Amino acid sequence: MTNAKKNRQEKKDFVYADKAQTNILLELPSDNNPYVTKTAYLHGYDVLELMAKKSFVETLLLLFTGELPPPEKVKLLEQLMVGLMNPGPRHPAVKAAMVAGVSKANAEHLLPVGLTVLGGKSNGAKEVELAMIFLQENKEKLPEEVVSQLLKTSHQETVQGEFHLTPGFGNNYGSIDEFADGLAAQLFNAVNNSAEVIAWGKAFNETLKVHDMGWLKTGIAAAVFCELDLSPRQGNGFFQLLCAPGILAHGVEQTHKPITAIPMLSDEQHVYTPEGDVNEVKAHS
| Same domain assignment for residues 231 and 91 | yes
| Same domain assignment for residues 44 and 132 | no
In degrees, to the nearest 5, what angle opens at C-alpha 153 toward C-alphas 145 and 171?
80
Predicted local confidence at residue 284, as pLDDT: 41
Q: Which residues does 217 contact at the CB level (< 8 Å), separation at least 6?
A: 83, 84, 87, 123, 177, 179, 180, 183
Confidence band (pLDDT; 50, 70, 90) for 268?
A: confident
| Same domain assignment for residues 148 and 212 | yes
Domain that holds residue 34: 1-53
The domain tally of the chain equals 2
| Same domain assignment for residues 164 and 205 | yes
pTM above 0.75, yes or no: yes
| Same domain assignment for residues 103 and 240 | yes
| Same domain assignment for residues 18 and 99 | no
User: What span, in angstroms and rounded, lies between the C-alpha atoms of 98 and 78?
Assistant: 26
| Same domain assignment for residues 93 and 192 | yes
Higher-confidence residue of 266 and 203: namely: 203
| Same domain assignment for residues 97 and 43 | no
| Same domain assignment for residues 34 and 161 | no
| Same domain assignment for residues 94 and 20 | no
Q: Which residues does 20 contact at the CB level (< 8 Å), separation at least 6?
A: none
Mean pLDDT within 77-99: 97
Interval 227-264: pLDDT, tens: 999 999 999 999 999 999 999 999 999 999 999 898 88
Mean pLDDT within 3-31: 83
Confidence band (pLDDT; 50, 70, 90) for 283?
A: very low
| 72 domain-assigned | no
| Same domain assignment for residues 20 and 108 | no
Interval 163-204: pLDDT, tens: 999 999 999 888 999 999 999 999 998 776 678 999 999 999
| 74 domain-assigned | no
